[in-house]
Amino acid sequence: MQVLTAKMRLQEKLETEPVHFFVREFETLLDEAREKLAKFVATKSEKLVFVQNATTGVNALLRSLNFSPTDELLTTDQEYNTCRHVLNFVSDRTGAKVIVASLPFPVESPQQIIEAVIKHISPRTKLALLNHIRHLQNKI
């Protein structure tokens, strides 16, 4: 409820005076949020950046890394489609191989998922993109 209340308060400020909000308050609020997040995840705020959504962050990160044809990029058959498209783009561009771990369905225990992913890790695995939200459209 606290998050919803804070969101509504910010939305009201934005809608009441949008120019003032974006010119005078927005950057300061972002800086404060970045400081709090940095403290929570034990890093420096300068190392954090906010993006529009998770897909934008995954896209920016994957396209900024260097991979080679001997590298493997691990994901699951439940990865969010747009993130999977970015993996495929990076693979096509660099020659790195996308390795897809098939997750069991229905899931009887968390250990099943862990084992399904771990058995695909190799010395060539350079990155694992693992989504914590199940996307059933891939299994239907």
Residue 124: predicted pLDDT = 97
Domains of the chain: 2-47 (no CATH), 54-138 (3.40.640.10)
What does the chain look like in DSSP terms, one character per residue?
-HHHHHHHHHHHHHHH-HHHIIIIIHHHHHHHHHHHHHHHHTS-GGG----SSHHHHHHHHHHHS---TT-EEEEETTS-HHHHHHHHHHHHHH-PEEEEEPPPSS---HHHHHHHHHTT--TTEEEE---SS--GGGT-
> Given a cut of 80, is residue 136 above it in pLDDT?
no
Residue 107: predicted pLDDT = 83
Residue 69: predicted pLDDT = 97
Average pLDDT, the chain: 91
Predicted TM-score (pTM) of the model is 0.74
- Residue-wise pLDDT for 1-18, tens only, equals 888 999 999 999 999 999
